[in-house]
């Protein structure tokens, strides 16, 4: 089913290196051609590796395997989602909501996926664009969230929020989180946002420490365009952070536009994966009832 697999791994960890070698060994034992991302190849022992730049990994692979944590998957999602190739994660990070393969059963679970025994989920990305008055713009994708904040300076932002060109509110606070269903279990959850099933076609807007007692998270259609204008940008020098990895400067009089990206991430899990099961294990739901 998968004739060629691309491999991307987080660098700087011996455990990740060992898991990467295990993935490559399983792929080769099943007759799958292996393409290794150039930076990933640097952490591996000298051997015959077919190295390729990340920029072409998606177009040249039938499957992309990411070894690391959710942060590694976020980067791959932004870089490779437009190739529309399926992505499988091997968890070598923290919570691991997106990585469905456990490091201690790589051979068994990866073999199942290669044999076609897997479930596929489509996770849409957010497209953030900062448009200045002169028409110039900068943009990035985000799988989890787009966060507008005051950068490294502790200042309160004053901003206006619009949904589909309709004014929603003016607000003062530390910033605003705009999250996809995938990102609802990340930063937005810490800020009091709702947990959203990944199949939902919706976007959540979560204020960060708003200077009001009545502000609450707002869930809107996944087809909405959200616009944010910062009123005191000249004083605060705000930034729009995409997945906390790519940062766009929001200049005075600029508008931040956020909408759904047209190409979704195809995320694979071994058969039997359950979102609610992940919530129970990752978020420690109901592990003890009545002191038992």
User: How many angstroms separate the CA atoms of 203 and 182, rounded?
Assistant: 10
Tell which residue, 20, 21, 105, 8, has the closest CA to residue 63: 8
User: How many angstroms separate the CA atoms of 63 and 35, rounded?
Assistant: 10
| Structural domains in the chain plus CATH codes | 4-124+264-282 (3.40.50.10330), 126-260 (2.60.200.30)
Residue 291 CB burial class (10 angstroms; 0-12, 13-18, ≥19): exposed
Strand partners for 219: 204
User: How many angstroms separate the CA atoms of 180 and 161, rounded?
Assistant: 17
Query: What rounded mean pLDDT belongs to the chain?
Result: 93
Sequence-separated (6 or more) residues with CB below 8 Å from residue 184? 193, 194, 195, 196, 204
Per-residue pLDDT of 81-120, as tens digits, reads: 999 999 999 998 777 789 989 999 999 999 999 999 999 9
Sequence-separated (6 or more) residues with CB below 8 Å from residue 124? 180, 181, 182, 201, 222, 260, 261, 264, 265
Per-residue pLDDT of 118-138, as tens digits, reads: 999 999 999 999 999 898 999
At which residue do the structure tokens 């950068």 appear? 151
In angstroms, how far is CA 52 from the centroid of its own chain? 23
Q: What is the pTM of this model?
A: 0.94
Per-residue pLDDT of 236-286, as tens digits, reads: 889 999 999 999 999 989 999 999 999 999 999 999 999 998 898 888 886
Tell which residue, 76, 94, 95, has the closest CA to residue 86: 76
User: How many angstroms separate the CA atoms of 241 and 230, rounded?
Assistant: 15
Catalytic residue positions, numbered? 70
User: How many angstroms separate the CA atoms of 13 and 259, rounded?
Assistant: 35
């Amino acid at each position: 089913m998968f004739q060629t697999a691309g491999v991307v791994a987080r660098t700087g960890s011996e455990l990740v290196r060992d898991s990467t070698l295990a993935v490559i060994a399983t792929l080769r034992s099943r007759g799958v051609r292996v393409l290794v991302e150039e930076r990933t190849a640097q952490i591996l022992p000298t051997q015959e590796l077919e190295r390729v730049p990340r920029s072409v990994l998606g177009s040249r692979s039938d499957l992309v395997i990411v070894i690391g944590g959710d942060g590694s998957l976020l980067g791959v999602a932004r870089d490779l989602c437009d190739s529309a190739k399926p992505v499988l994660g091997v968890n070598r990070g923290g919570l691991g909501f997106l990585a469905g393969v456990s490091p201690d059963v790589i051979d068994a679970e990866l073999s199942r996926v290669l044999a076609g025994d897997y479930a596929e989920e489509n996770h849409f990305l957010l497209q953030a664009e900062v448009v200045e008055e002169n028409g110039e713009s900068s943009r990035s994708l985000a799988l989890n969230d787009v966060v507008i904040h005051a950068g490294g300076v502790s200042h309160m932002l004053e901003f206006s929020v619009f949904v589909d060109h309709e004014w929603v509110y003016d607000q003062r606070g530390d910033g605003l989180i705009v999250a996809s269903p995938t990102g609802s279990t990340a930063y937005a959850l810490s800020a009091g946002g709702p947990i959203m099933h990944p199949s939902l076609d919706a976007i959540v807007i979560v204020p960060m420490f708003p200077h009001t007692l009545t502000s609450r998270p707002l869930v809107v259609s996944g087809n909405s365009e959200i616009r944010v204008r910062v009123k005191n940008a000249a004083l605060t020098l705000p930034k729009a952070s995409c997945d906390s990895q790519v940062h766009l400067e929001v200049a005075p009089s600029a508008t931040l536009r956020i909408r759904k990206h047209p190409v979704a991430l195809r995320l694979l899990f071994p058969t039997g994966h359950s979102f609610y099961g992940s919530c129970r294990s990752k978020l420690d739901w109901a592990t003890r009832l009545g002191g038992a």
